[in-house]
Structure 1
Amino acid sequence: MKDCGSQFGVGWSIGLVFVFSVLRQPLTLAAEPGADFEADSQAGRTFSTDLKAADDAVIDTRLSEQADEAGRDVADMDLLELVNVKVSPFDVSSQLDSGYLASNSVSGSRFDAPISDLPFALQAFTESFIKDQKPRDIFDIARYSPGVTYRSNDFNEGNANLAIRGFAVGSLAGGNIHTLRDGVHGPSILDFTNISRLEVVKGPASFLYGQVAPGGIVNVITKNPQRRFAAAADARYGSYGEYRFDVDVTGPATKNLFYRLAASYDQDMHYWEPYDAHSWNISPSLLWQPSDRLSVSLKYENFEKIEEPQLMQKPGYNTQASVLPTAADPNLSGVDVPGLPNNWNSMAYSDYRHSNTHNLSTWIDFKADEHWNLRTGYSHLEYDVDALFTGNLGMSNNTTLMQGRRVRQQAYSNRDDTIELQGVGKYDLGFASLRLLLGGQYIDRNFHRTAGQAPNDPALGSNPTASPLPLWDLGNPNTWNRHTAIPLSRLTTSLTDENVNAVDKSVYGSSTFGFFDDRLLLLAGWRWTSTESQYTNRLTGQAQGATASAVTPQYGLLFKLAPEWSLFASYAESFVPGTFPANNLDGSTSIPRPTEGWGYDVGIKADWFDGRLSSTLTYFEILNKNIVNDMALTNSAGGITIYGLQSGEQRSRGIEWDATAKLTDDWQLYLSYSYMDARITEFSGQDHAILAQDPGTLDAAGLANYKNVNRFHNAPLQMSAPHLANLWTRYDFSIEALRGLHLGGGVNLVFDQTLLPDSPANSRQTYALLNALIGYTWEVGGHSMSVDLMGKNLLDEQYRPSQSSRSRPRELMINFSVKF
């Protein structure tokens, strides 16, 4: 059951911090005019082009003056200077954003740069866009980027595993591919309490971030302390009893020390039976800036989620028993057992999953001279999961409705320590401009996993499957006994105690030349990465070590045909060493070979109507070798094994388009579309030779090999979809009679999406998610207040966001916000 005292304490703590900060404000900054956060949370706020240019000129002038007055004390600056001062090119210039329209990015180059100058596709979602979406998970925002789908095995991976252009961004626990948080490894589960921005960089990006998937990277950027006081509070209530509270307070503690505290408490809906989940997030941060050349930041985040019990996917069938599918023995891989209601959950009341994340990071930025800026930083990440589950996700065969139970407890512990040093240089050579990036990174990773399972009860037999508890007849609710519990001390089979230590070392450097007044930009960069890992099975004493290294380049070109039009092309490679043994289909285990990929983008960028319309059209092709795909199979004893299938070659090619528009000062729009052909082009390395054989002449091993190659050769990549389209728009009324009213709405279209690579074609899903927003904003005593009514999945579509997660039903929620 939930810890009510803990919930009460967290809620009071959040409320007291907010009230104290607001009451304290008149005593500390009574003479200081108020200001909004770094990005105004009201998407209707707009800047005219002239005002934006004037702001840029002020900032440039201030920076020029700062360069002439090296080491100037921040305490000596006036208020305007204090707000405009900027030390670090490693932080994105979010003050240049205008509603949904993002001007700059740090994820695409590791330093602050205009998106229009980057020779590849990139989408940046601003704080205004994020606030309008009211997201629960990272996919709620990332899905608007063309070519992005969801890949999480939510029962053991968390919610941060996406796929870009068909390739997974995250990996199973213990893997070394991650969604990034402020440019370094992020946790497997993310909450938006402390996130101000989300950026998606397309294509292989190992040059910038080391071991990353070839489709691209997702980087979430956390909130920074601001130099003026601001405070905001949100309260939300929605369908099936869900509710949430958020507070966000920032401002100066002294003339050169600034603080921020973001905190939240969230109670999820009670729609599924049984299911309960609540979470809280506390994220304080400090920024110390003693001079205009030096700044030191310290950030901490603690996110905890309690699920009692957690939600598991509906049970699904497997592939055919024979070598080839027939009408009597069809392939049902990934197909749900029919007839179960959408709010059904297989978990017992005794099940649980507790997830806890701690993230501490510090960065020191120093302006060495007029040419060079330096940054050094350290990040410590801990992510732990303790779970007990009695529910089952598979079936013993494709005809039965009898499902065995299993009682399994497993715990994951992840630790990640990153040390990084970067330098950005800028020169005017006369005939060209030059931007240099130099850096080095050291990462120490540890992953530890323990697990145990209850033995099957011999008295229950094994027809059609063995089980530690009485079987469920999925067609008979009277057999669904969820009041079961087995002591943890009796979980004595399928024991696991595994540990992985890994060290990643890398150095990188790049140069960007600008010719003809930066109309022609040429980028070239290289990264050397080396990995050493040691896997230990603490039960058997088995140990396996692995080493790998590679040099990954990146090249890019962008030519501005006119101020409104640019052509670009880029080429990059990716490299991901294996560190954790994968289960092979033949029963053996081995550390996978490093995956190696390459890809190129060619396209056009447009910036029309004085910046009111920004758009990118891209053609891409990516080839990747030795990718590991996870596949869960249930055996006749009721056991589940997750196999790692390392395919010979995968390829993705297609077209992506996105556009952000301010049609008027009151109306803004975001659109995206992707066509993607992502598939396994070579599974075994000998696909054509194997498929040319006569199955009637093969022995058992040959038949198994033939079956697997036939299943996966030319199969679509997991959760890929040939067509994805997204639209979101918002209109703020400016006529006096309706001033303060705003409307928003959008749709997410998914067409012919595959679940698993070998799922039958008739199981592919096509659906549309319709969302809408209506709200009103007003002022009381100089403070902004707003109320929003949000509807999500208004058509009540039932679908699978990923191969092993569940869709949420139609949701209606009301949100009240106040800003100080």
Structure 2
Amino acid sequence: MKEVSLCQKFRTVRSIVLLLLLAFHWTVFAQTNTLLVETTVKHYDENPAGVISGTVKTTDGMPATFVTVLLKEPNLSTYTDEQGAFLFSNLKEGFYTLEISMSGLKPQQRTVQLKKNETARLVIVLQEDAKQLSEVVVSASRRLNNKPVSAGKIDVNPMDLPQSLTVVGQGLIREQQAQRLGDVLKNVNGIYVTTTRGAVQESFGGRGYSFGSTNLFKNGARINSGAMPEMSSLERVEVLKGSTAVLYGQVAPGGIINMVTKQPKFAAGGEVSMRVGSYDLYKPAVDFYGPLSSSIAYRVNGTFESAGSFRDGVNSSRYYVNPSVLFKLRDRTEILAEGDYLFHRFTPDFGIGTLGGTKIADVPRNRFMGTSWQYNKTDQVTATATLKHNFNDAWKLNASFSYQQYKRDYYAVERVQAAANGDWTRPLGKILSDENYYTGQVNLIGKFTTASLEHNFLAGADADNDVITNNDFSFPAVSGLPAGSYDKINVLDPGKYVQRSDVPTATPIRKRVAPLDRVGFYAQDLIKLSSKFNVLAGLRWSYVQTAGIDSTNLLTGTKTKGKSRYDNAFSPRLGLVYKPFATTTFFVSYSNSFVVNTGQDVYGKAVPPSLVDQYEAGVKNEFWSGRVSANVTVYRILNNNLAQTAPYLPDGTPNNNSNIKMLSGQTKSDGVEVDLAGQPIRNLQVSAGYSYNFMRYTKTNTTIGSFKTGERLVNNPAHTANASAFYTFGNGLLKGFKAGVTVAYVGDRFAGWNTDVVSVNPVTYRSRIFPVEGFTTVDVSLGCSVKKLSVLAKVSNLTNALNYYVHENYSVNPISPTQVVATVAYKF
């Protein structure tokens, strides 16, 4: 009998599930989509608990989202969802006072009489229209606990969630004139750039772990981290720290980053801007939005960027466009179709390199070690369709489907590993890859009451299909140099050797196709036991098929079929929240997950998954009537089988293939995070954070290639910190003028490779680790707004600090020196 692949099975099951969901969707929709005009509604069950529900709108009838609604007695709070709706249930009869507020708006109060066994419904209209409210949101207070994250998949007050989260909004992204994602994440405590390997991408770390493509999302769907995302299109960046395996499956420990793009609006408007800066930076951008009809809205934003660099001979150009259309099918149903395209061509740059493998070369910051012809080109296309439907006040369905294509064409000399005297034989590297990635998810969300318990329930399913095609190349031989070499130079004395300038022919010799299929089913319930206690319980079952890599020898036509691997596991999650006051939350949580490891071991076998336990506890506080948030979180992450690049092959020769890995043993990551944010006085927005992390090997063995117990892992600073303050003058000659400062600190860390075992009798270690000092950058921003025109200016790295992002020991990229950037924008 012919074997049916997991992917084929999944497609069949997916079709059946989608048909059932659509049938259920339209059946319930037809039964429940009626306009509610009652002020009170009788319940015909035996539960005597009353309900207060309502909708908050703007003056032009649009829903007001993320507005805080406070029930003063018994001191409960929630916020409006994406439809502007809110709900309080399980209430006794009596009089209740609601306060509706948002930073930057005048609070409103409403008094409601709730009778036994009834539901009171309210419609509250703010004094602002949708466009005015949008402006308020952009400049709203940067509190920590006043906004949910869509990455959490449920509408829940962050104070009720046993997890740490951070949202960087559009206002701060604009004020800081962020160019890359790393600029935005300076504002997120404990998240930092680890490396910029070859200057072709930014890699991030948090809580001791690297965030790769499995941890980077756009609008809730994974994206390839090889393309540097465009910041001008973002509404916000969400960072959900801690365990996210129940919701997203095989993600690295530490958390996820979700970028949310700007959405269509029914209020017409837009912006045109021009950014210029040091080293020939030119970046015009446009953003248009508005209604196409009473039920269809659109948005299109795009930009072009051309830039040089403080590095000699390095430049880049990129094009980006992001269209989206929102269809309001009925009062309770909408479909959002969005996509974007990014083309980026730039010079790959492996920095200044190391001498002898353990010493950063002492050369000028601007010295470029590459060739004049090397290049890196990335094309990334994404398309997403999202369906949202509210069956009624309690139940809703969200479904989305996303497609991504990522292409990379790269050719360069690479890996700056010079001898102690500076001599370096430049190796060639060529990449031609194509990734096609499909993902879909369906989530059913319900808010309901059983007995005296309030539930915020989530059940869902997701599936991914990822196919990556890569090519191997050979290069012409050079007399006297190893295979794959280009020429020899000296990084300390560029005039010592004559450098080549021609472009050698790269001959494709092998094509490899690597498919990956994932399916997951999950359920989670946030149960409100009382006004003071919440319990969060969740469980996910994941199935992963890592298909064997099929390869074709392009010289002989010989085909080799790889052997597939199948992994599955349950991932539980449990959390407890205690709220002694509406302004204070204590929480603890535990989760277990598994991470599928790519590549193979030194004997050609698949690397088993890594098993991870995560423990977290913390306190969230709101002070001074919600003007300031202060949170403290502690955590422990145990990875029982951390996979890393194997240092040696079976014959003892060094391994330079990152796809050949080994399980290095148990690691333990302990840490604490302290966050502060808010508006302590009028017109002053502040945020600050400090993080300590101790990530080390705790259980290793003494076989050749193993690592040293107790040693801190490379690229993990013990201390990081961040702070920012922005003040807007509200009166006098300086009215509309804004000034701000942003400070980011990354502490001492190790680079290279961790100490490993080279002999077992007796046990002998080899140290390939070297220290990199910590550094602090200071950015100063100034701006002024007059009616529809605004001007922003920034001096980054004001003190001209010098430091490096180090990938292993061959990509040592200096941080940018002092630079100036300015943006002129006109809104209409």
- Relative to the length of structure 1, the TM-score reads 0.80
Greater Cα shift, 555-564 or 623-632? 623-632
Distance, in Å, in 1 between the alignment partners of 2:544 and 2:365 is 44
Contact 1:712 1:757 in 2 (8 A): no
User: Measured at CA, do residues 231 and 265 of structure 1 come closer, stay the same or move farther in structure 2, by a change above 3 Å?
Assistant: same
The partner residue of 1:440 within 416, 437, 461 is: 461
Aligned 1:27-66 pairs, distance under 5 A: 51=105, 53-54=107-108
Aligned 1:48-87 pairs, distance under 5 A: 51=105, 53-54=107-108, 83=130
Residue matched to 2:149? 106
1:203 is the counterpart of 2:242: yes
1:390 is the counterpart of 2:413: yes
Distance, in Å, in 1 between the alignment partners of 2:544 and 2:574 is 24
Distance, in Å, in 2 between the alignment partners of 1:124 and 1:223 is 15
Shift of 1:645: 4.3
Deviations, residues 262-287 of structure 1 (Å, cap 9, x unaligned): 10111223321211101111000000
Residue matched to 1:23? none
Q: State the AA in 1 paired with 2:782.
A: I
Distance, in Å, in 1 between the alignment partners of 2:60 and 2:448 is 38
Greater Cα shift, 434-443 or 636-645? 636-645
Contact 1:614 1:659 in 2 (8 A): yes
Deviations, residues 491-523 of structure 1 (Å, cap 9, x unaligned): 46xx44221111101110011111223x21110
Greater Cα shift, 238-247 or 372-381? 238-247
Q: State the AA in 2 paired with 1:543.
A: G
Aligned 1:190-589 pairs, distance under 5 A: 190-307=229-346, 309-317=347-355, 332=358, 335-336=359-360, 338-395=361-418, 398-458=419-479, 461-462=480-481, 468-479=485-496, 484-488=501-505, 490-491=506-507, 495-517=509-531, 519-534=532-547, 535-539=549-553, 541-578=560-597, 580-582=598-600, 584=602, 588-589=603-604
Residue matched to 1:653? 670
Distance, in Å, in 2 between the alignment partners of 1:582 and 1:156 is 27
Deviations, residues 444-499 of structure 1 (Å, cap 9, x unaligned): 111111131314312xx25xx666443112232224656522343x546xx44221
Contact 1:295 1:366 in 2 (8 A): yes
Distance, in Å, in 2 between the alignment partners of 1:487 and 1:55 is 74
Distance, in Å, in 2 between the alignment partners of 1:537 and 1:466 is 22
Deviations, residues 29-66 of structure 1 (Å, cap 9, x unaligned): xxx999999999xxxxxx866936439999xxxxx999
Greater Cα shift, 732-741 or 503-512? 732-741
Contact 2:168 2:236 in 1 (8 A): yes
Contact 1:108 1:122 in 2 (8 A): no
Distance, in Å, in 2 between the alignment partners of 1:33 and 1:119 is 37
Shift of 1:145: 2.0
Contact 1:38 1:226 in 2 (8 A): no
Residue matched to 1:180? 217
Shift of 1:721: 0.7
Contact 1:466 1:638 in 2 (8 A): no
Distance, in Å, in 2 between the alignment partners of 1:66 and 1:456 is 81
Contact 1:632 1:641 in 2 (8 A): no
Aligned residues, how many? Answer: 705
Q: State the AA in 1 paired with 2:455.
A: L
User: Measured at CA, do residues 614 and 213 of structure 1 come closer, stay the same or move farther in structure 2, by a change above 3 Å?
Assistant: same
Residue matched to 1:788? 792
Deviations, residues 714-758 of structure 1 (Å, cap 9, x unaligned): 332231111111001101112212111111002111221222452
User: Measured at CA, do residues 644 and 245 of structure 1 come closer, stay the same or move farther in structure 2, by a change above 3 Å?
Assistant: farther
Q: State the AA in 1 paired with 2:350.
A: M
Contact 2:267 2:291 in 1 (8 A): yes
Shift of 1:659: 1.2
Shift of 1:292: 1.6
Residue matched to 1:815? 823
Q: State the AA in 2 paired with 1:508.
A: Y
Distance, in Å, in 2 between the alignment partners of 1:665 and 1:723 is 32
Deviations, residues 128-157 of structure 1 (Å, cap 9, x unaligned): 111122222212222332222223453397
Deviations, residues 658-690 of structure 1 (Å, cap 9, x unaligned): 11120112101010100110112234xx24xx6
The 3-state SS of whatever aligns with 2:314 is: coil
Contact 2:104 2:140 in 1 (8 A): no
Q: Which has the higher helix share?
A: 1
Q: State the AA in 2 paired with 1:264.
A: T
User: Measured at CA, do residues 672 and 98 of structure 1 come closer, stay the same or move farther in structure 2, by a change above 3 Å?
Assistant: same
Distance, in Å, in 2 between the alignment partners of 1:123 and 1:212 is 18
Contact 2:370 2:414 in 1 (8 A): yes
Shift of 1:230: 1.8
Contact 1:96 1:104 in 2 (8 A): no
Contact 2:139 2:171 in 1 (8 A): no
The 3-state SS of whatever aligns with 1:128 is: helix
Q: State the AA in 2 paired with 1:351.
A: Q
Distance, in Å, in 2 between the alignment partners of 1:497 and 1:37 is 52
Distance, in Å, in 2 between the alignment partners of 1:764 and 1:473 is 23
Deviations, residues 592-644 of structure 1 (Å, cap 9, x unaligned): 21111011111111011111011210110000122233489999999954353
1:723 is the counterpart of 2:719: yes
Deviations, residues 242-273 of structure 1 (Å, cap 9, x unaligned): 12122111111111100011101112233212
Q: State the AA in 2 paired with 1:607.
A: E
Distance, in Å, in 1 between the alignment partners of 2:126 and 2:269 is 15
1:168 is the counterpart of 2:210: yes
Distance, in Å, in 1 between the alignment partners of 2:539 and 2:66 is 34
Contact 2:138 2:169 in 1 (8 A): no
Residue matched to 2:802? 798
Greater Cα shift, 544-553 or 103-112? 103-112
Aligned 1:20-31 pairs, distance under 5 A: none
The 3-state SS of whatever aligns with 1:406 is: strand
User: Measured at CA, do residues 83 and 55 of structure 1 come closer, stay the same or move farther in structure 2, by a change above 3 Å?
Assistant: farther
Distance, in Å, in 2 between the alignment partners of 1:505 and 1:798 is 46
Deviations, residues 56-82 of structure 1 (Å, cap 9, x unaligned): 999xxxxx999999xxxxxxx999999
Q: State the AA in 2 paired with 1:105.
A: P
Deviations, residues 553-597 of structure 1 (Å, cap 9, x unaligned): 11111111112211111111222213x42464xxx4432211110
Q: State the AA in 1 paired with 2:781.
A: L
Deviations, residues 194-234 of structure 1 (Å, cap 9, x unaligned): 21111111112110111101111111111111121121122
Q: State the AA in 2 paired with 1:505.
A: V
The 3-state SS of whatever aligns with 1:105 is: coil
Distance, in Å, in 2 between the alignment partners of 1:81 and 1:241 is 41
Distance, in Å, in 1 between the alignment partners of 2:302 and 2:525 is 40
Consecutive unaligned residues of structure 1, counting only runs of 5 or more, are 1-31, 41-46, 59-63, 70-76, 87-91, 172-176, 320-331, 691-704
Residue matched to 2:608? 593
Consecutive unaligned residues of structure 2, counting only runs of 5 or more, are 1-58, 68-100, 113-117, 554-558, 755-766
Deviations, residues 177-203 of structure 1 (Å, cap 9, x unaligned): 240111121231212132111111111
The 3-state SS of whatever aligns with 1:590 is: coil
Greater Cα shift, 148-157 or 554-563? 148-157
Contact 2:744 2:777 in 1 (8 A): yes
Shift of 1:290: 2.5
Contact 1:181 1:220 in 2 (8 A): yes
Distance, in Å, in 2 between the alignment partners of 1:638 and 1:434 is 56
Residue matched to 1:681? 698
The 3-state SS of whatever aligns with 1:478 is: coil
